[in-house]
A and B are shown apart, each in its own frame.
Chain A
Amino acid sequence: MFQAEDYRRIRVLIVEDQAFVRQLLKGLLRKMGFDEIEETKDGTEGWAALRRRPPDLILCDIQMKPMGGLEMLNLLRNSGEARLAGIPFIFLTSQDDASTVEAALGSGVDGYLLKPVSHQALQARIDAALKAVAARG
């Protein structure tokens, strides 16, 4: 289990079109101990933000306009830049149809959580993704 201390140094990027969900996520992350949280409203904004300054973790919705989460993930993974391609990426979505799930998994997402996401599941998924990165190294 990570401590609040460990989270403090980790920069999170939220990509989510619902203001309410952004607020909820931010609240939960703050409570866990995260300090540096950037919010964006869709894939285009998210992509611009992470080009500007790559975060250490991305929490992302799927269905957004103009650019959705899957497109953004593919951009990231195929960017050819190691520092971008390796950022842990977690989907938070209510999209539960098989084709979307498969597409997401095929693009190498680090987590796929269905809304509403319980705070425990969120933290467990974040921990797992961060640990994987730490192990990679």
Chain B
Amino acid sequence: MVETGASAGFGRQFLTRFLAAATVLSLVLAAVSLFIELENIDDRMVESALAESRLFAERHGKASADAEGLKASLAAFLNERRHVADGHFVKAEIYDPSAKVLAEVEDETSPWARRGASTGHGMPIEGDVWYVKHLIGGTLFLQVVVRQPGLGFFEGVYEVSAERFRAILWSTAEHVLVVVITVFVTALALLPVVRGMTRGLERALREAHDANEATRAKSAFLATMSHELRTPLNGVMATLELMRETPLDPEQKRLLGIAQASASGLLGVIGDVLDFSKIEAGRIDLEAIPFAPRRLVTDVAAALEATAVAKGITLKAEVEADVPPAVVGDPARLKQVLLNLVGNAIKFTEQGGVIIRLAAPSRDASGVRLDFAVRDSGIGMTEAERDRLFRPFVQADGSTTRRFGGTGLGLAISARLVERMGGRIAVESAPGAGTTFRFAIDAVVAASDAVAAVEDRTETIQSRAAPTRDQALAAGALILVAEDNPTNRQVLDLQLRRLGHVADFAGDGAAAVGRCADTDFALVLMDLHMPGMDGITAAKAIRAREATIGGKRVPIIALTATALAEDRSRCLDAGMDAVLAKPISMRDLSETLARFAKPVSGAARPLDLDLLRETVGALDPWVIEAVLGLTASLRPDLETLSAALKRDDATSAAEAAHSAKGAARSGGAAELGALFDRIERAAKAGDMAEAGSARHELDGALARFEAAARELKAGGHVPG
């Protein structure tokens, strides 16, 4: 009996220990499986991330009770610790148990964020699991949040890429505590829950994968659609442009103008859909270039005159005398807004007419307020209708849909564009009393000859006699066009001839690569979508061949109908030099040819004003002064560089080129920057011959830069 008692005691003890061990083991397993489900996560990273969470809890967890305090401490913490954890966070959030966001900090200056496009797609999957996808500079970040009532929160932001899969998990002290306590109190009962979570996570990851596919499909669809629509439109617009240069009587010219305006209107609609998604993602960049506001308003009126006349109503443009001849802004976007407002006004006016009015009520030394108003004598709106106007996709109400048609995207886009320009669209209306849309923006006054220069360029695209193919070949000026569509080939051929160039044609990528191998072309215009080998692959093949045989680098210009930023960067990554969006205007083509089809040392411009603006914003007088001083500032590096090259000192040469490169690029000296970059790379690779040859090109580039800088100072580019 004693033995039995002992045995029973031992049994109980064993059972207790077994249960305890099983509990601990299953907890460990549950925790492990939770993390293993996020496959490929390095244990070290999870550990490091959890350590970061604990550190945060220690330092800030108790200190801040309110949201502001929490946010400040989160920001401070992330800022201190940002680069210490094994990986980089994109965004961190703290939730209370009811899933309310208490604090949220985004790092828009992370090394990835500054490289470009950032798109966030938030998508609730279920109550307990959701994810947000961030695509930043081509790197995918997956943020997974798992919530189980009573359990707490886990949030992970993962960078997903081919080379690395890194993770950072953040959770607050409270959450960790809640998890720990709950886990121990309900140890065994918890297992199915954890398993459920694991399955939920599995599902979330699977769905996330599916959603990635869906997003890719959506993006591909948008690209295809815009390609399919733009290709025929390209033919229409280019043909009209060419027709304009044939002998025409005034009436034919007017009709042609209407056709051109309608075609560009259609192009605008296609752009709208892409635009809206870009604006929603905060990815619209406004230009700052000189333009004539008066011309803008009359252009809009001219574009829509036919529509108004067809409806039997009048369309008038009134520009007050005090409006300056030239201001700095984004004329294309302003035109888009006006076309939208005026187009709507015409659509809903049956009698009377529409007036576009531009006034400049206030003006000082540097700035002017431009007051735009579009007034119609149409059906008017009730207050409730007015309130709904600017919301996109508002289709629930039939009258809004009827009034603005389709999705109402145009007005939503206009409203957001005007907001980006610092204004707001206001509506005054009453049923039967017509409607006035009004907005005001502040603009910098530009020297009036700045616009004249821009417009002159537009008007004076010279038709020049094209040389024969042999002459062009001998002069090294022959162009290769790789394009499969016969219409586009014909249009490009005509456009190029008009600009005094001769081209050979290749029908697909493989043919283009072959042609480049046997002929020295001055330039390759490369369509992206071709049967067989596409343009990207062909460009890579051409670059690879050049690298192997050390041949001359031919500039390659991509021709694309999709105009998506992703396409652009794919082209540049493939070694192409620029991207032309179809439909290709004579002006774009002529500018590109001027840039690339001359004897070329590099694709970059001597003084790239866009690059400079990117660095400094507006081209204020102090910027111009600084730019004029760039060459003097480069002199010490140039001396070091020359001396280093003379004594074959690759290290010093690379250092000097590197130092000069940073300064040159900061000053918009793109060509110099590219040359210094070439020298730096060559020196680092030990190719002193290449470094020396690039050094020889520096003097020309320096002179071109200085000339461009002086022209900038003398020219009307400086606002105010």
Question: A residues near B, CB below 8 A?
Answer: 17-21, 23-24, 27-28, 30-31, 61, 63, 93-95, 101, 105-106, 108-121, 124-125, 128-129, 131-132, 134-136
Contact = CB atoms under 8 A, between A and B. Distances in A.
A31 B622 CA distance: 10
Nearest to A30: B622
A94 B661 contact: yes
B82 to A, nearest CB: 8
B667 interface: yes
Given A63-B655, A131-B75, A136-B76, A115 B633 contact: no
Given A116-B611, A118-B614, 13 more contacts: A18-B659, A18-B662, A24-B615, A24-B626, A28-B617, A94-B661, A108-B84, A115-B662, A116-B666, A119-B617, A132-B79, A132-B80, A135-B76
A21 B662 contact: yes
Nearest to B630: A20
B433 to A, nearest CB: 41
Interface in B603-650: 611, 614-617, 620, 622-623, 626, 629-630, 632-634, 637
Interface in B585-615: 611, 614-615
Contact of A118 (B80, B615, B663): B615
A113 B614 CA distance: 14
Contact of A105 (B83, B614, B622): B83
B616 A101 contact: no
Contact of A116 (B76, B80, B615): B615
Interface magnitude class on chain B: 35 or more
B4 interface: no
B663 A20 contact: yes
Decide if the interface of chain A is mainly helix, strand, loop or mixed.
Answer: helix
Given A18-B659, A93-B662, A136-B76, A114 B114 contact: yes
Contact of B616 (A28, A63, A111): A28
B75 A135 contact: yes
8 contacts: A23-B629, A93-B662, A94-B661, A105-B83, A115-B665, A116-B662, A121-B114, A136-B80
Given A18-B662, A117-B666, A135-B73, A112 B626 contact: no
B629 A132 contact: no
B108 A124 contact: yes
B109 interface: yes
B103 to A, nearest CB: 12
Chain A CB within 10 A, most for which of B108, B617, B620, B663: B663
Interface in B95-143: 107-109, 111, 114
Decide if the interface of chain B is mainly helix, strand, loop or mixed.
Answer: helix
Nearest to B661: A94
B73 A18 contact: no
A121 B666 contact: no
B418 to A, nearest CB: 20
B72 A135 contact: yes
A31 B662 CA distance: 21
Nearest to A126: B109
Given A24-B667, A63-B658, A63-B659, A31 B109 contact: no
Contact of A19 (B73, B629, B658): B629
A105 B615 CA distance: 24
Nearest to A112: B111
Interface of B: 72-73, 75-76, 79-80, 83-84, 107-109, 111, 114, 611, 614-617, 620, 622-623, 626, 629-630, 632-634, 637, 655, 658-659, 661-663, 665-668
B75 A132 contact: yes
Q: 3 tightest A-B contacts by CB?
A: A20-B633, A135-B76, A105-B83
Given A19-B629, A27-B616, A116 B665 contact: yes
Contacts of B667: 20, 24
A27 B623 contact: yes
Contacts of B111: 101, 112
Contacts of B633: 18-21, 23
Nearest to A92: B662
A110 B614 CA distance: 22
B76 A24 contact: no
A93 to B, nearest CB: 7
Contacts of A129: 79
B629 A119 contact: no
B626 A27 contact: yes
Contacts of A101: 111
B632 A19 contact: yes
A24 B659 contact: no
Chain B CB within 10 A, most for which of A63, A94, A113: A94
A24 B109 contact: no
A112 B662 CA distance: 14
A103 B714 CA distance: 45
B659 A113 contact: no
B76 A23 contact: no
B347 to A, nearest CB: 38
A116 to B, nearest CB: 4
A134 B73 CA distance: 10
A1 to B, nearest CB: 12
A17 B636 CA distance: 10
Contacts of A119: 615-617
B406 to A, nearest CB: 34
Contact of A94 (B73, B629, B658): B658
Nearest to A95: B658
Contacts of B72: 131, 134-135
Contacts of A28: 616-617
Nearest to B81: A108
B476 to A, nearest CB: 33
Contact of A20 (B108, B626, B661): B626
B615 A117 contact: yes
B659 A124 contact: no
Contacts of B634: 18, 20
A124 B84 CA distance: 21
A106 B82 CA distance: 10
Nearest to B631: A20
B620 A31 contact: yes
Contacts of B109: 111, 113, 121, 124-125, 128
Nearest to B634: A20
